């Protein structure tokens, strides 16, 4: 019986050594996927100072087409020559799962109806196939009707997909 114990221990120790990385070996780098998605957003009422927005999102694979939801708070309204600011959270719903995160925007109004929104987006996770998604990117939105309808482009570098 004593021999079996010694042989089993030797096999386990050898397996552990073979799986362990060599000292000083570089860690495996994460695969980064760069994506450019479009979002059509429909605002639900005027932000006073916050509102809910819904829309449609369209991305290349592995996401595809889906639904977009966000909650936004305007922290300062734009005035002539003075940009405004807003921030919020978002969630995108796809067939294989969701992605979620936060965003921060700078708002510039060239007229009461023509407004641009630009800023950053941070992906903090998801569900289903996208539960490990992480990353960040930029967002650019425009509107010609004072914000009731926005067209956005989100360029992101993501891991975990």
- Domains for the chain: give ranges and CATH numbers: 35-159 (2.40.480.10)
> What token pair was written down for 8?
């089993």
pLDDT of residue 6: 39
pLDDT of residue 37: 98
> Against a cut of 0.85, is the pTM above it?
no
For residue 39, the cross-strand partners are 57, 152
pLDDT of residue 29: 52
Q: Which residues of the chain have pLDDT under 70?
A: 1-29, 47
* Interior angle at CA 67, CA 128 and CA 110, nearest 5: 135
């Amino acid at each position: 019986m004593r021999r079996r114990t010694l042989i089993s221990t030797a096999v386990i120790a050898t397996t552990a050594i073979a799986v362990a990385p060599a000292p000083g070996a570089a860690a495996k780098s994460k695969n980064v996927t760069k994506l450019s998605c479009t979002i059509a957003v429909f605002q639900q009422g005027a932000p006073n100072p916050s509102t809910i927005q819904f829309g449609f999102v369209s991305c290349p694979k592995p996401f595809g087409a889906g639904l977009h939801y966000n909650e936004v708070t305007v922290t300062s309204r734009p005035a002539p020559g003075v940009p405004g600011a807003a921030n919020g959270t978002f969630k995108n719903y796809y067939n294989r799962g969701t992605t979620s995160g936060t965003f921060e925007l700078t708002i510039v109004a060239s007229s009461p109806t023509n407004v641009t929104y630009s800023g950053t987006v941070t992906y903090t996770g998801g569900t289903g196939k996208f539960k490990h998604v992480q990353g960040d990117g930029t967002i650019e939105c425009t509107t010609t009707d004072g914000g009731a309808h926005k067209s956005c482009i989100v360029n992101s570098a993501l891991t975990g997909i």
